[in-house]
Structure 1
Amino acid sequence: MKGSSRRRLGQRVFTEQVRECRDKGYLLSSKKIGSGAFSKVYLARATPERIQHNAKLSADLQDKHHAMVAIKIVSTAEAPAEFSRKFLPREISSLNATYKHLNVVQLYETYQNSQRSYLVLELAARGDLLEHINSVSARRCCPGLEEDEARRLFRQLVSAVAHCHSSGIVHRDLKCENILLDEQGLLKLTDFGFANCSGLKNALLSTFCGSVAYTAPEILMSKKYAGERADLWSLGVILYAMVTGKLPFKERQPHRMLHLMRRGPTFRQGLSSECQDLIRGLLQLRPDARLDLQQVAAHRWMLPFAPALFCNVLGTAPEEPKFPTALDEVPRLKDPEPLGTLVQLQRPQRPGAHHDRTSEPTPAFGAPRLLQAHLRCSVASPGVGFRRPGAASCSQQPLSLCSISAAPKEARHCQVK
C-alpha cells in the first residue's frame, strides 16, 4: 500500500476511534503516548457525564484533580487469535484483580466491537523507571539513584508485587520499562500481558516469557518454575539497576548468561552492604533460596518501612511523601531533556512493535517500546503499559542492557500456561 493510501486509511480508522470513544464518554486526543505490535495508546479526557456514571473513574480522578486518562486501543482484527483469546483476557483479568492499589495502574473500564478493544487506563504522565534512572544519573553525573530514593521506590514496587501475589497474580514481566511514575512521583506497576492468574500458590509454569535480562535462571534453563519466585529474581535485577544504573548480567548467549548468574552480581564501590545483601538475597540461583516478600519487607535495608508495607497488601496504601527529586523538574506529558553524553540503560526491542520514534526502544502493550526480538520470547508480544515517547539516545554505552542473540529453542514453540 502506498504511503498516501496508508495515511488516508489511518485517518479514517482514527476518526472511527474518536467517534467510538466519544459515544462512550471519552474525548480522544491525537496525542499518541504509546504503541505496541497490535495497539496504540492515546491521551484522552473523560467527560463529566462519564465520570459521574463510572464509580472507578469518579473515585480515582477526584483525588487527581484532573479528568485525563490513557486509552489503549487494541486492534483485535489484526492481532493473532491466541492474543485475543488468551493474552488480552488475562491482562484485563489481572488488572481487575489488582484494582484499588495505589502502586498498580488502574483499569477503569473496557469496551469493544468486532474490530477493536478499548482499555481505559490510569494515566501515568512522567514516564517509566528506566527513563527516571537515566535522567537522575545524568543530573548527578553518577550512574543510578541514591539509595534513599531507590529505597522509597523499591518499597512501593514490593508492595505492588505483594498485592498481585496475594490476589493470585504473578506478573512474569517485571522490569524497569513496566514501572511507571505518575505526576505525584508515585510508582505504578503496569504491563500484565504475560501475567498468570492461576491463583495457586507456587504453581509450576512452563511458558518462557519476559525479557531475558530480567528473567530468572530456571526459566532460561527451560525448567518448570514458580511464578512468585521468578518475580522475586526480577525484583533483584530491578533493584540492582536502580542503585547502579546498569543491569547485573550482560551476555549475548543464554548459557554464558547463566555462567554469570552463577558467579553472582558485582557492585560498585560505595554501595551499602545492606543493599548488596538484599540484592544477593533476591538473585539466588535456587528459587527456594531466594528471599520471599515478607523477608524483603523485613530486611534491614528496607526498614523502617516494613510495618506499613504489608498493610498496603490488605487494602490500605501507605502514605508516600513526595520526594524532591528530578521528577519534580519534569513537566507533565513532556519529553525528558536530552541526556547529552551520559549513557542510558538500553531498552530491549519487541518483535513486531511499532513506534513513532526511529531510534528509541520502548515498552510493551500500548507503550512505545521497540523490544529487540532476541530479548522477548516469540510466544506473544501483548505488552501492557504506556509511556511517553521521546527520550534521547547517547553514543557511549556504560549503562547497557544485556543483549541475547536468541531465546532458547523452547521459547519459540512453548505452550502458554
Structure 2
Amino acid sequence: MYTEKVLRGMGYKMEAMLGEGSYSKVKLAHSQKHKSQVAIKVVDRKKAPHDFVHKFLPRELALLRTVRHENIVRVYEFIEVCNGRLYIVMEAAATDLLQKVQEGNGVPADVARAMFSQIVNAVSYLHHNGIVHRDLKCENILLTADNQVRLTDFGFGRFAAGYPDLSQTYCGSAAYAPPEVLLGVPYDPRKYDVWSLGVILYVMVTGCMPFDDSNVAALPLIQRKALVYPDDVAVEESVRVIVSLLLQFSPSTRPSIKQVSEQSWLQQSRGDGINRTG
C-alpha cells in the first residue's frame, strides 16, 4: 500500500488501527527516529469536504504548529505527499478519558481532581494564547499510562480573542455544546470551552452524561433545568459547586478559565506533583 510504503521509508512501522472516519484515520506505529510508539493521523484531502480542506484543516495545522504544553498532545512532524494525503505524527497515548470512565463507571474523586486540573491547565494555556478548542469531550482527552492528560483534536480550534470576538460556526458534539451554540446565536468560544469542561467533570464523577441529547432540538430546554445527579453515586458538594458554575445556562454568568482554575477544589491538587505552566 502506498501509504505504508511512504511511512516505512521514513522509519515508521505501522502496527494497528486506532480509529477511522470518513476521510481520516489514526494508526499506531513504531518510530525508529523517536524510538517509541507514535500515533499517525492520516488525512485524505481528496475525500474531505471543501470547508474542511480550506478552512478547518489549515486552522488545525496552524494551531498544532503553535502550541507547546505538557498537557497537550505533542506533534513530532507533518508529512505531505503528492497523493493528497497528509500525515500528522504525534505522541501515542495509552487510552482516553471516555474509556477510563467506562472501565470504572466514573473516576475516583482524587484521580478526577488531578486529571481535571491538568485539563484546566491545558485550556488555560490555550485561552491565554488566544486559542479556543470548541470540541472538548472525553474522547479528546488522551491519557498516558500514568494518567497524565494530553488534550488532542484541534479540528474545530481557532485563534480567537473572546468577547466581543464571537464565533458563529456550529461545531463540536451536541452533548458537550452549550445552549447558545445549539440555539444558533453568535457565541463567545471561550465560554463554549468552559461549558464543555462542566460536562466532562460531570461525566468523570458520575460515569454518565448530564443531559439527554437524544433530541438535540430539545436539548437547550433540558440544559436550562436544574442539574440532576444519579441516586447511586456520591458526589462531594465542592465538585457539585464547580459543575454548577461551569454549566451556567447564560454564558455571561459562566466563569472564565482563570476563574475556574482558582476554585478551591482544584487548588487542593497543587501539591500533587503536577507541573503547571501557562
Describe how 1:72-83 pairs up with structure 2 within 5 A. Answer: 72-83=41-52
Secondary structure, counterpart of 1:225 in structure 2: coil
Q: RMSD across aligned C-alpha pairs, in angstroms? A: 2.0
Structure having the higher strand fraction is 2
The one-letter code of the counterpart of 2:253 is: A
- 1:201 deviates by 3.1
Secondary structure, counterpart of 1:302 in structure 2: helix
Residues 135 and 238 from structure 1, CA distance in 2 versus in 1: closer, same or farther, beyond 3 angstroms?
Answer: same
Query: Does residue 104 in structure 1 map to residue 72 in structure 2?
Result: yes
The one-letter code of the counterpart of 1:312 is: R
Partner of 1:166: 128
Partner of 2:8: 22
Tell me the TM-score normalised to structure 2 length: 0.92
Residues 22 and 310 from structure 1, CA distance in 2 versus in 1: closer, same or farther, beyond 3 angstroms?
Answer: closer
- CA distance in 2 between counterparts of 1:186 and 1:251 reads 29
Secondary structure, counterpart of 1:29 in structure 2: strand
Secondary structure, counterpart of 2:25 in structure 1: strand
- 1:149 deviates by 1.2
Count of aligned residue pairs for this structure pair: 274
Contact 1:180 1:188 in 2 (8 A): yes
Partner of 2:162: 201
The one-letter code of the counterpart of 1:222 is: G
Contact 1:28 1:42 in 2 (8 A): no
The one-letter code of the counterpart of 1:287 is: P
Contact 1:216 1:233 in 2 (8 A): yes
Partner of 1:338: none
- CA distance in 1 between counterparts of 2:271 and 2:148 reads 19
Query: Does residue 179 in structure 1 map to residue 179 in structure 2?
Result: no
Higher RCO, 1 vs 2 (CA within 8 Å, ≥6 residues apart): 1
Q: 1:274 aligns with which of 209, 222, 238?
A: 238
- CA distance in 2 between counterparts of 1:255 and 1:111 reads 41
Partner of 2:180: 218
- 1:303 deviates by 2.2
Describe how 1:288-327 pairs up with structure 2 within 5 A. Answer: 288-305=252-269, 312-314=276-278
Partner of 1:192: 154
- CA distance in 2 between counterparts of 1:263 and 1:230 reads 18
Contact 1:166 1:313 in 2 (8 A): no
- CA distance in 2 between counterparts of 1:18 and 1:122 reads 18
Secondary structure, counterpart of 2:158 in structure 1: coil
Query: Does residue 92 in structure 1 map to residue 92 in structure 2?
Result: no
Contact 1:298 1:306 in 2 (8 A): no
Partner of 1:253: 215
Query: Does residue 45 in structure 1 map to residue 51 in structure 2?
Result: no
Describe how 1:147-162 pairs up with structure 2 within 5 A. Answer: 147-162=109-124
- Structure 2 gap ranges (5+): none
- CA distance in 1 between counterparts of 2:230 and 2:45 reads 46
Q: Which one has the largest radius of gyration?
A: 1
- CA distance in 2 between counterparts of 1:247 and 1:129 reads 13
Residues 32 and 311 from structure 1, CA distance in 2 versus in 1: closer, same or farther, beyond 3 angstroms?
Answer: closer
The one-letter code of the counterpart of 1:34 is: G
Residues 294 and 96 from structure 1, CA distance in 2 versus in 1: closer, same or farther, beyond 3 angstroms?
Answer: same
What is the identity percentage for the equivalent residue pairs of Structure 1 and Structure 2?
Answer: 37
Residues 28 and 148 from structure 1, CA distance in 2 versus in 1: closer, same or farther, beyond 3 angstroms?
Answer: same
